[in-house]
Structure formats: structure tokens, C-alpha cells
Amino acid sequence: MKPKIAFFDFASCEGCQLAILNVEDALLDLLERVDIVEFREALSEKAPRYDIAFIEGSIHREEDADRLRDIRARSRVLVALGACAAIGNVQARSNATAPAVNLARVYGEEARDRVQTDPDHWPLWAHTRVRPISDVVEVDYYLRGCPVVPAEFVKLVTALIAGSEPRFAREPVCTECKRAGNLCVFARGETCLGQVTWAGCGAICVTQGYRCDGCRGLLPGANLEAHRQILRDAGLDDATIDDRYDLFCSAQRQPQQRRGAGPGGHAR
Ligand code: SF4
Ligand code: SF4
Ligand code: SF4
């Protein structure tokens, strides 16, 4: 019997699923060793149980949380697929603002007023809070990034179906950046979050001429106060620094607003 693999999406752009579909050669090779039994972007079939469930997207409503709990109960291994699932991603920034304010910003004040007086719709918005999936269920493995790195997906699946323990280096992006031979952006007066961000992407943004904005999440134990001082020394004020950290990692910085695992839920 081949292991049964399934993909599920919650609040996301579905870019991580697309990133995996795009690695056709590796996927065709994997298909000889696994059965993909649910994958809304590619299949219409359903299955009752899964050996590995990949969860894309963040959790916003209790009905999403219930659906995720049901998937967890039917899965042997559960994997967070991408930054939305792993750390709440950019959408978790909305947690800092009242749902009614967010609603007015996106749909206008008229829509907000209408929804607030409609008992059939308001509860949906009133209880919206963006959570990484580790706030709702136990997560066995994390594939980080926005989007995920397909090679990490292949490595994880290959290890799991071989019965071995997949390992991902717990190191900052800077180590990969150095290995890539990049000139540090601080040397040209710019700033970067590579020192406090999980590696695994090969420092691709720096290599392509930009900087690291931290899409793979804050490393557990990262010394943010020391890093903040480095950013201050480079000329950023505290509000700008908070904005930079919160672009992808606001939910990791607000553990008091969350249930479940510690910041980022970095179990492995
Ligand atoms: S992590 Fe990024 S690419 Fe993946 S689903 Fe979320 S927003 Fe899309
Ligand atoms: S550019 Fe960023 S990731 Fe690269 S070495 Fe400098 S701080 Fe680290
Ligand atoms: S360099 Fe930083 S922002 Fe770019 S992919 Fe890697 S972790 Fe994400």
C-alpha cells in the first residue's frame, strides 16, 4: 500500500500548492511512491484517512478550526505548508485591529454598518482572528516560507515514506547568504532580517538583489532586542522596525494573544 497524501487549504493564496504542482518532475517521481488522495487544485476525489496531510493557510473562524481538527483526527502526520499555516503570515497583522475596522477598510463603512446590524453575518466577522494552525492542532512538521521551497517538500515526503526523520537546519538565513557569497546588504547601508529568520530558502531574496524580510519566520530564541539595536544603528526607528518584524511574523510576536504552542510553534 502506498502512503496516502492529502492537501487542504484554508485562508491562503494557494501559492504553496501551486509551487508544489510546478515541480512536475519531482512530483511525477513521488507519485510512483505515494497516492495523492485529496488535492483540490488537481483532483476531485476525497478520502477518509491520510498518512500525511499538508495544511496550507491560516485559521480565521471557528468553523475553520473545526474542519482542521477533523483533518487532524484523520491524519497520521500533519504538516504546515507555508507561512500562512506555519506563522499566520501577513494576514495575522489584522489581529491588531478590531474586526469592524478591518471590515470597513476592505469593504467600506456602508458594508460594515450593514453587517454589524445583521445577526446572520456579524458573528462571522466578530469572531475572526487569524491563527497559525499550531494554535488549533498539533503540528508534526513545518515547511516554511512564502511560498514553500519545493525541494524541502520533496525532502520531507521522501524521508517520511522511507521511515526516517526529516531534519531541517535550525540556523539563520545569514548562514546561507554567506555560503552564497552575497555581499551583506548592511554593507551598502540597507537593513535585513536574515539574522533572526529561519534558513532553508538559500537566501534567495538577497541573492536576487533584495533583502530578507523574514517570510520563513523568526528563529526560536532569536535575540530580537540585539537585532533591534542593529536596525536602530542602521537608522530605523522603532515603529519601522516593528513594521518590518510584523510583515510576516506578527503572530509570532503576539504569543499572549494565542493559544497552544509557543511562538511560531516550531516543534521541529
Ligand atoms: S505562504 Fe505565501 S505563497 Fe503560501 S499560501 Fe500563504 S501567501 Fe500563498
Ligand atoms: S544580507 Fe541579510 S541575510 Fe545576508 S548576511 Fe546580511 S543580514 Fe544576513
Ligand atoms: S530571503 Fe528571507 S524573505 Fe526571502 S525567501 Fe528567504 S526567508 Fe523569505
Q: Which residues contact 62 (CB under 8 A, 6 or more apart)?
A: 127
CA distance 26 to 22: 9
- Ligand 2 site: residues with CB under 6 angstroms? 173-174, 177-178, 182, 184-186, 192, 194-195, 203, 206, 212
CA distance 182 to 205: 11
- pTM, 2 dp: 0.90
CA distance 178 to 241: 24
| pLDDT at residue 101 in the model | 85
- How much of the chain, in percent, has pLDDT values that exceed 90? 70
User: In the block, which residue shows the cell 446590524?
Assistant: 117
pLDDT tens digits, one per residue of 199-230: 999 999 999 999 999 999 999 999 999 999 99
| pLDDT at residue 119 in the model | 63
Across the range 248-261, mean pLDDT stands at: 67
Which ligand is in closest contact with the Cα of 179? 2
> Could you give the residue ranges of the DSSP H alpha helices within 2-149?
15-21, 24-31, 62-73, 83-87, 99-107, 109-116, 122-126
- Ligand 2: residue of 176, 179, 182, 188 to mutate (most ligand atoms within 8 A of CB) is 182
In degrees rounded to 5, what are phi and psi of residue 160? Answer: -65, -40
- List the chain domain ranges: 4-88+130-167, 98-126, 173-257
Structural contact between residues 250 and 93, judged by C-beta atoms closer than 8 angstroms? yes
> How is domain 4-88+130-167 classified at the architecture level of CATH?
3-Layer(aba) Sandwich (3.40)
| CA-204 nearest atom, ligand 3 | 1
| pLDDT at residue 117 in the model | 77
Q: Other C-beta atoms within 10 Å of 2: how many? A: 13
pLDDT at 76 over 60: yes
| CA-206 nearest atom, ligand 2 | 1
| pLDDT at residue 107 in the model | 83
Lowest-confidence range among 45-59, 139-153, 184-198, 253-267? 253-267
Greater model confidence, 40 or 23: 23
Whole-number Å distance, alpha carbon 1 to ligand 1 midpoint, is 32
pLDDT at 103 over 60: yes
| pLDDT at residue 66 in the model | 95
Q: Does 204 sit in the ligand 3 pocket, CB within 6 Å?
A: yes
CA distance 78 to 70: 12
pLDDT tens digits, one per residue of 239-252: 999 999 999 999 99
| DSSP 3-state percent helix, strand, coil across the chain (nearest 5) | 45, 15, 40
| pLDDT at residue 125 in the model | 61
